[in-house]
Structure 1
Amino acid sequence: MKFALLKEFFAGFLRTRHFARHFRRLAMLDSMTDATVSREVPPTLAQTLTLGASGKVPELLSRLGSNLDGLSEDEALALRQQHGLNEVEHEQPLPWWVHLWHCYKNPFNLLLTLLALISWLTEDMKAATVIFSMVVLSTLLRFWQEARSNQAADALKAMVSNTATVLRREDGKAQRIELPIKQLVPGDLIVLSAGDMIPADCRVLSAKDLFVSQAAMTGESLPVEKFARRQEVDTGNPLDLENILFMGTNVVSGAATGVVLTTGNNTYFGALAQRVSATDRAPTSFQAGVNKVSWLLIRFMFVMAPLVLFINGFTKGDWMEALLFALSIAVGLTPEMLPMIVTSTLAKGAVFLSRKKVIVKRLDAIQNFGAMDVLCTDKTGTLTQDKIFLARHVDVWGDESDDVLEMAYLNSYYQTGLKNLLDVAVLEHVEIHRELQVGTAFSKVDEVPFDFNRRRMSVVVQEHGQPHLLICKGALEEVLGVCNRVRHGEEEESLTPELLERIVQVTAGFNEEGLRVVAVAARSMDAGRDAYGLADESDLTLIGYVAFLDPPKESTAPALKALAEHGVAVKVLTGDNERVTAKICREVGLERQGLLLGGDVERMSDAELAVAVETTNVFAKLTPSHKERIVRLLKANGHVVGFMGDGINDAPALRTADIGISVDSAVDIAKEAADIILLEKSLMVLEEGVLEGRRTFANML
């Protein structure tokens, strides 16, 4: 009988290839309505941000009770008492006794405890001792292992920056002071520069060359431009507001001042974090399997024990002996060692993975690792390095050209504006600095700074004894607008409609590869001048293009190949655009099988999307709830689903998946939602995790 029940316990693992579809999920999250951005955050927050973006600055500051010199200490204190500290409520660590209860409370342990109690009441002390010991040992082992892992995970959670530069009004004058982020209040004026983390949701009041990375929010690898001017765009998505900065993002280049609109849980970040923390974890396939067998045993006992009791009682007349025999049947139906075996094998797997620099926060995740047959992964920061690299430097015809790289380097080196990520990527080519003797052979004459209307900038340099050279770098359309010639080898020719069509084809090809194209043009100028302006950006010669990419991690391609060999299908779920995503998929060897955008997901019913997720492996421009919905429907289709991500936009899906995987550089909300945290950038540990999960299963079997 025990053997038959054990077979039932593991039957689900054996029904499909690679143990992939064991123990179909019993409990699902409530069906979600079509996900829209307005449902991702409270409507009041979206209205607050939209109103803050569109209102005139004096009216906005008046409504917030602030002014251009900032708040006084008394005003800030009063607002802090009203709004509370600028802190986002994360998932609170469980008290040790609650964690211990969670490690104990599953139907199997409750069943064994009941049997131990009955054995004790019937004076079968040996049976009571053995059963109770198994329960205690398995509970304490799980508690110790998970507590140790959670302590290691908590040690990873640290804010990038814990202070902000704030304007405080003292004696009628604005003074810059450094304040802990948690002390900020709505109405505070903050000063931002490159490297700063945005401490709250803010309206930009002034900006110079401001680029902000919103990858943790949206999954977009490239920084976005932020402006101080009022935007007239009609949008329901707060992330599209180009003069609003969001808590948790960071400044990659430029400088700005802003006024705090919302703090703490009232921010966009806080709303998403609350949404994640408020959602109970869905039962994993392993938990569902254990619960299924536990209830099967209980049903057997409810049938067998009374049946044996009445048959023995009526046939033999000794009801006490019949009761003891019925209880022995109940005990005999239960594999007392099973909880201990399961917990010890899972703990052994966690110890093995810890040697691979992997933190296992929940022991059940080990077995789910082995049973996983679908891995959904974010792109930015997980598959890619989340760092912009200069991928190509080519002439107008698309052929490699060192001249283009040299021109781009001189432009980036001599410009005095705050350098964005693209300039940093160009300046990493230090060999150009040596070859051109930039610091000695060349000198800067003047520059025409970048602005968002022209979307280009120029520097004028002079090599000793040579004419001045104006070098312009910027967006393709804007640079083409001031060019009338193109360079072809050593020759120059007029920019004809035919050549323009050729240029469009070449650059479109780069865009299809997911590259961001920046055009480079130049013009020789007579020496003798020391001041240049916008009018000099004319009659330029197009030299070529520099193209940039957020490349994949070196371990991504071999890791995905290894997972495919072990029967794990990989699906990419990202908030980035489809062209960049398609390029990354090609580079990592992931053959694209269908593409769905967030808008497509939005329009589909659950039934339609459940069919589409089976035949599609690339999803782009997704919101957090789109990702969660896709993972949920894959689970409903019978898959054991893993999800790997590192941003706040990944947290809901991490929590819904059977196994959530994150990395040590992830935002703290993502690490809280994950079951497993990778401490190294290599993704090859995913294959080792799958194999270890299957070894653990074999040991339990």
Structure 2
Amino acid sequence: MMLEHGDLSSTSESDIDEEAGGKEKEEAQQNKPARKRGYPILACDHSAITGESLAVDRYMGGMIYYTTGCKRGKAYAIVQTSAKTSFVGRTASMVQAAKGAGHFEIVMDNIGTSLLILVMAWILAAWIGGFFRHLPIASPRQQTLLHYTLTLLIIGVPVGLPVVTTTTMAVGAAYLAKKKAIVQKLTAIESLAGVDILCSDKTGTLTANKLSIRDPYVAEGVDIDWLFAVAALASSHNIDSLDPIDKVTVLTLRSYPRAREILRRGWTTEKFTPFDPVSKRIVSVVVCDGIRYTCTKGAPKAVLQLTECSKETADHYKSKAQEFAHRGFRSLGVAVQKEGEPWTLLGMLPMFDPPREDTAHTIREAQNLGISVKMLTGDALAIAKETCKMLALGTKVYNSDKLIHGGLSGVMASDLVEKADGFAEVFPEHKYQVVQMLQGRGHLTAMTGDGVNDAPSLKKADCGIAVEGASEAAQSAADIVFLEPGLSTIIDSIKMARQIFQRMKAYIQYRIALCLHLEIYLVTSMIIINESIRVELVVFLALFADLATVAVAYDNASFELRPVEWQLPKIWFISVLLGVLLALGTWIVRGSMFLPSGGIIQNWGSIQEVLFLEVALTENWLIFVTRGMETWPSVQLVGAILGVDILATIFCLFGWFSNQTMPTDPATSFVETENGWTDIVTVVRVWGYSLGVSIVIALVYFMLNKFKWLENLGRSKRDKGDLKIENILGHLSRLTVEYDQPGQPKGRFFLATSKEEEDVE
């Protein structure tokens, strides 16, 4: 590998562009450990790319990425590539390529298209029936086929569907804003409700992104307060630009008051030598009470070489260093030399970026909600495993080499991603690939992050979440932005999203049933008795249904303990059954009017208005059935339904829009009032009858939800993809065909990505 460009000095934050020449060479180098030549000459800040909190050592011939700053050292570099072919450029390309129709849009398009096809089928049936009834296509004096067509279009095209669903999500977004979660894309709420895998960045999200010193190793006979005092003396005194290691060393003194007392004895610094990549130590020469001390801290091995401790002490020190390394800790050895005396080994400080206090509880809550959490981090494998242990995430954590060019393909690669608890040493394309493979397996995937390196995966995920303090790139790519640190807000957001989903599902079931109700009744009544409900009254029925149910956005709702899903076969099955029951209820009312007693009508009234009132009441009350019985309806919903019911009753009492002659065939013996008014006793009877119909429908709905086969109808198995296709593609990716042309050397054909896909990768 070749360094890229520029003169890097320890006092500047020079940005240097990247990378190795040739795509094949570059990819191979990214996925193999770089051969280390000599000592590290640079320490680069990779936090913008990988999220690592500490600087990363770069060796002679190593790769340095554009946008990374030099924290320590000086070197010359050669620019190998720039623009979109650079590491950051490919990251930006992935953000732009991660687009497509959202999950909610696909579901709504599916439902809207189905309803449109359904209404066209009913219109066709109405025209066929109308021809047998000898109805004219258009006429100013009687009911015509165009009247029926207009009526069916009014009730069959759910114009209120996008209004109510959008309002429901907008109200939910306002609730989430109170929980410090800003929704930038409304449809992300529906996606969040169905998420079953949460991929989370580690640094700054699961952890506090603040180094802390764990229980130190103290050499035998050494005072721990003296250990920390020496470590503080061997730290930079430039408070404005403290190194993260020096900063955590100084801040840890808060827990050691006696160490602070030692430092108050009037120490003066004669000489300070910052970290040297050759010696791998920080050295400070200090004086107190006329005695000169040389304090140092640095790599455990480098510090041990200074001292002349016993073999037992050295072996114990080495075993401790190895133990800390296996646990993912970054260790610092500490030693001191008193003037005229040999070096004394004091101990070792293990450093770790601890999880947030609420992270473990949040992960347990997420798992209780049926969500699997996977950690994606740029830190080393040992650190990732230690973090997973502390958070009870599981220890099936793999290096990023397993993802790209790791020898896995097809089912094996997808299975690895699906079963893993996390991946370490990942770059943006690794995170992007994890999300993509999980989506290919049918999982709704959420991604949380805060850095530029998280932007592609945030954009690709079904629901991208930028945590508190996220970069502008991450916020712009995310669907939801948290304003509070950590992941605790995500639990409230998931519960709220599932409640919003429950409201939308209740409304969609209700709306489909309403469409089928009137379509079935109007077409069958036209064919059987050559009668319909006036177009004006049908318009008001549609308005009442949509205006009242807008209040469902404020309804009380429960949430499921598993990821929700649009079980469209189940929704259609229940909705069709409810629509048929509503149509039967309306036919019973109309059929009773053919009895000599007038049926449901007590003294006098209007057929049109009685049917209008019965349809309005049973349809409005249906929302109380589809919303479920787990919670009481909200005051807003009850008030809205009651308001339109009273208005529909006034329509019936005073005969509004009913002064039109519509003879039936066969004719009924009942004679309507000329002004369309209806007596109060008939109105009370219609209210009682409609309540009985609603109770029967509620019992049927309750029984339907008790059937196990119906509970999981339409719920996809998200843990399996198309295994045969994955295996075929995996084998084809390794297929090479050799061909021979006369007079030319042999060539080979092999499968490769298109130019656009190659740019994205």
- For Structure 1 versus Structure 2, the TM-score category normalised by the shorter chain is 0.5 to 0.7
- Mapped to 1, the partners of 2:114 and 2:361 lie a distance apart of 42
Quote the residue 1:236 is aligned against. Answer: none
Where 2:334 maps in the other structure, the secondary structure is strand
Instruction: Provide Cα deviations, 1:230-267, integer angstroms capped at 9, x if missing partner.
Output: x23xxxxxxx52xx3531x445x557698895999458
Quote the residue 2:260 is aligned against. Answer: 435
Which amino acid in the other structure matches residue 318 of structure 2? V
Q: Does 1:222 align with 2:24?
A: no
Q: Does 1:508 align with 2:322?
A: yes
Quote the residue 1:335 is aligned against. Answer: 158
Which amino acid in the other structure matches residue 404 of structure 1? L
Counterparts in 2 of 1:636-675, with a 5 A limit?
Answer: 636-675=440-479
Quote the residue 1:459 is aligned against. Answer: 284
1:501 is displaced (CA, Å) by: 3.6
Moved more, 398-407 or 383-392: 398-407
1:675 is displaced (CA, Å) by: 0.2
Q: Does 1:626 align with 2:409?
A: no
Q: Does 1:568 align with 2:371?
A: yes
Quote the residue 1:168 is aligned against. Answer: none
Match of 1:318 among 136, 141, 144: 136
Residue 451 of structure 2 contacts residue 474 of structure 2 at CA under 8 Å; is this kept in 1? yes
1:314 is displaced (CA, Å) by: 5.2
Instruction: Provide Cα deviations, 1:240-298, integer angstroms capped at 9, x if missing partner.
Output: 52xx3531x445x5576988959994584650453134214243332222122122223
Q: Per the alignment, do residues 449 and 663 of structure 1 end up closer, same or farther by CA in structure 2, a change over 3 Å counting? A: closer
Q: Does 1:599 align with 2:424?
A: no
Residue 236 of structure 2 contacts residue 274 of structure 2 at CA under 8 Å; is this kept in 1? no
Q: Does 1:347 align with 2:164?
A: no
- Mapped to 1, the partners of 2:175 and 2:50 lie a distance apart of 34
Match of 2:17 among 194, 201, 218: 201
Counterparts in 2 of 1:392-407, with a 5 A limit?
Answer: 392-396=215-219, 401-407=224-230
Which amino acid in the other structure matches residue 506 of structure 1? K
Q: RCO higher in 1 or 2 (8 Å CA, sep ≥ 6)?
A: 1
Which amino acid in the other structure matches residue 470 of structure 1? T
CA RMSD of aligned residues (A): 3.5
1:475 is displaced (CA, Å) by: 0.6
Q: Structure 2: which 5+ residue stretches go unaligned?
A: 20-38, 139-143, 507-761
Residue 66 of structure 2 contacts residue 88 of structure 2 at CA under 8 Å; is this kept in 1? no
Q: Structure 1: which 5+ residue stretches go unaligned?
A: 1-49, 54-59, 61-186, 233-239, 486-493, 528-538
Aligned length: 477
Quote the residue 2:141 is aligned against. Answer: none
Residue 282 of structure 1 contacts residue 656 of structure 1 at CA under 8 Å; is this kept in 2? no
Quote the residue 2:66 is aligned against. Answer: 246
Moved more, 438-447 or 547-556: 438-447
Which amino acid in the other structure matches residue 553 of structure 1? R
Counterparts in 2 of 1:447-486, with a 5 A limit?
Answer: 447=272, 449-466=274-291, 468-485=292-309
Residue 412 of structure 1 contacts residue 423 of structure 1 at CA under 8 Å; is this kept in 2? yes
Instruction: Provide Cα deviations, 1:394-441, integer angstroms capped at 9, x if missing partner.
Output: 214799933321221121157999752111111124556873453643
Q: Per the alignment, do residues 209 and 457 of structure 1 end up closer, same or farther by CA in structure 2, a change over 3 Å counting? A: farther
Instruction: Provide Cα deviations, 1:461-495, integer angstroms capped at 9, x if missing partner.
Output: 333144x332221111222222220xxxxxxxx1x
Quote the residue 2:726 is aligned against. Answer: none
- Mapped to 2, the partners of 1:442 and 1:593 lie a distance apart of 46
- Mapped to 2, the partners of 1:273 and 1:219 lie a distance apart of 14
Residue 215 of structure 1 contacts residue 380 of structure 1 at CA under 8 Å; is this kept in 2? no
Quote the residue 2:339 is aligned against. Answer: 525
Which amino acid in the other structure matches residue 165 of structure 2? V
Name the TM-score, length of structure 1 as normaliser.
Answer: 0.61
- Mapped to 2, the partners of 1:457 and 1:193 lie a distance apart of 17
Larger radius of gyration: 2
1:597 is displaced (CA, Å) by: 2.0
- Mapped to 1, the partners of 2:177 and 2:240 lie a distance apart of 46
Residue 475 of structure 1 contacts residue 518 of structure 1 at CA under 8 Å; is this kept in 2? yes
Q: Determine which structure has the larger strand proportion and give its number.
A: 1
Q: Per the alignment, do residues 453 and 415 of structure 1 end up closer, same or farther by CA in structure 2, a change over 3 Å counting? A: farther
Which amino acid in the other structure matches residue 361 of structure 1? Q
Instruction: Provide Cα deviations, 1:308-332, integer angstroms capped at 9, x if missing partner.
Output: 4344335536345335434533443
* Percent of paired sites with the same residue: 26
- Mapped to 2, the partners of 1:269 and 1:398 lie a distance apart of 51
Where 1:484 maps in the other structure, the secondary structure is coil
Where 1:541 maps in the other structure, the secondary structure is strand
Q: Per the alignment, do residues 586 and 359 of structure 1 end up closer, same or farther by CA in structure 2, a change over 3 Å counting? A: same
Which amino acid in the other structure matches residue 524 of structure 1? K
Where 1:561 maps in the other structure, the secondary structure is helix
1:379 is displaced (CA, Å) by: 0.7
1:694 is displaced (CA, Å) by: 1.5
Quote the residue 1:362 is aligned against. Answer: 185
Q: Per the alignment, do residues 371 and 287 of structure 1 end up closer, same or farther by CA in structure 2, a change over 3 Å counting? A: same
- Mapped to 2, the partners of 1:562 and 1:397 lie a distance apart of 44
Counterparts in 2 of 1:155-194, with a 5 A limit?
Answer: 193=11
- Mapped to 1, the partners of 2:184 and 2:401 lie a distance apart of 35
Where 1:215 maps in the other structure, the secondary structure is coil
- Mapped to 2, the partners of 1:209 and 1:357 lie a distance apart of 44
1:368 is displaced (CA, Å) by: 2.0
- Mapped to 1, the partners of 2:8 and 2:295 lie a distance apart of 35
Which amino acid in the other structure matches residue 454 of structure 1? S
Quote the residue 1:134 is aligned against. Answer: none
Quote the residue 1:212 is aligned against. Answer: 44
Q: Does 1:678 align with 2:475?
A: no
Residue 373 of structure 2 contacts residue 393 of structure 2 at CA under 8 Å; is this kept in 1? no
Which amino acid in the other structure matches residue 477 of structure 1? K
Quote the residue 1:7 is aligned against. Answer: none
Quote the residue 1:305 is aligned against. Answer: 123
Which amino acid in the other structure matches residue 231 of structure 2? A
Q: Per the alignment, do residues 619 and 267 of structure 1 end up closer, same or farther by CA in structure 2, a change over 3 Å counting? A: same
Q: Does 1:288 align with 2:112?
A: no
Residue 646 of structure 1 contacts residue 663 of structure 1 at CA under 8 Å; is this kept in 2? yes
- Mapped to 2, the partners of 1:269 and 1:220 lie a distance apart of 16
- Mapped to 2, the partners of 1:344 and 1:246 lie a distance apart of 44
- Mapped to 2, the partners of 1:483 and 1:558 lie a distance apart of 45
- Mapped to 1, the partners of 2:193 and 2:128 lie a distance apart of 45
Which amino acid in the other structure matches residue 446 of structure 2? G
- Mapped to 2, the partners of 1:643 and 1:580 lie a distance apart of 21
1:449 is displaced (CA, Å) by: 4.9
Counterparts in 2 of 1:107-146, with a 5 A limit?
Answer: none
Where 1:216 maps in the other structure, the secondary structure is coil
Instruction: Provide Cα deviations, 1:595-635, integer angstroms capped at 9, x if missing partner.
Output: 22211222321422322333222222222222222222222
Where 2:470 maps in the other structure, the secondary structure is coil
Which amino acid in the other structure matches residue 172 of structure 2? G
- Mapped to 1, the partners of 2:86 and 2:466 lie a distance apart of 21
Q: Per the alignment, do residues 342 and 514 of structure 1 end up closer, same or farther by CA in structure 2, a change over 3 Å counting? A: same
Q: Per the alignment, do residues 448 and 647 of structure 1 end up closer, same or farther by CA in structure 2, a change over 3 Å counting? A: closer
Residue 94 of structure 2 contacts residue 456 of structure 2 at CA under 8 Å; is this kept in 1? yes
Instruction: Provide Cα deviations, 1:209-239, integer angstroms capped at 9, x if missing partner.
Output: 9643212202322212457xxx23xxxxxxx
1:514 is displaced (CA, Å) by: 1.9
